[in-house]
Amino acid sequence: MRKHLFEGLIRPPFTERSPAAGDAAMAELATSLDRAARQRLGRSLSIRAVDAGSCNGCELEMHALNNAFYDLERFGIRFVASPRHADVLLVTGPVTKNMREALERTYAATPAPKWVVAVGDCAVDGGLFAASYAVVGGVSAVVPVDLHIRGCPPSPTEMLKGLLALLEQANAERRAP
């Protein structure tokens, strides 16, 4: 028993080491995104997540944006509970027949200017579930999509890069004569 206790004190943990805190590239990306949102909207970006039928893999990556490592809210970007407060709808999964109306109503409730981002391969065209009797198809089969972010699932960094590209394009279109 004493041997086990002693080993427990000196043995390193079996779990993976956590990534280094304060990822500079991530911070730069999020700061650029917040700046682009302020240029376009005059304030920070508000995001509403919509699960239209995913396996939850994409949600896990999306939720990571709010965890202690990514901590997106420190840059002013936040997830909101209602589409009425949202600028961007981040939609995951193939759209199932059961979720079709909910997605349409969420889109209708979001005030303009609004953007729809389809997150993950399933959101592009149904992905793995495309042939299912319960699936309508990708997000663009139900509501207009401004950006597709591919991956199964895409990483939080890829989601941020996609959002930044979207807002930079919106700013460029606004400046164009």
Q: Do 23 and 71 form a contact (C-beta atoms < 8 A)?
A: no
For residues 57 and 76, which CB has a smaller minimum distance to ligand SF4 in the complex? 57
Answer positive or negative: Cα dihedral of 19, 22, 28, 30.
Answer: positive
| Least Å from the CB of residue 94 to ligand SF4 | 7
Residue nearest to ligand SF4 (CB): 57
Q: Which residues pair with 137 in a beta bridge?
A: 95
| Least Å from the CB of residue 67 to ligand SF4 | 17
For residues 46 and 54, which CB has a smaller minimum distance to ligand SF4 in the complex? 54
Q: Which residues pair with 89 in a beta bridge?
A: 48, 116
For residues 55 and 159, which CB has a smaller minimum distance to ligand SF4 in the complex? 55
What is the gyration radius of the CA atoms in the chain, in angstroms?
A: 19
| Least Å from the CB of residue 32 to ligand SF4 | 25
For residues 120 and 156, which CB has a smaller minimum distance to ligand SF4 in the complex? 120
Footprint of ligand SF4 on this chain (CB under 6 A)? 54-55, 57-58, 92-93, 120-122, 127-128, 152-153
| Least Å from the CB of residue 104 to ligand SF4 | 20
Structure tokens at 143: 């509501």
| Least Å from the CB of residue 54 to ligand SF4 | 3
Structure tokens at 31: 């700061």
For residues 128 and 134, which CB has a smaller minimum distance to ligand SF4 in the complex? 128
Distances (CA, A) of 168 to 106, 162, 164: 24, 10, 6
Q: Do 135 and 95 form a contact (C-beta atoms < 8 A)?
A: yes
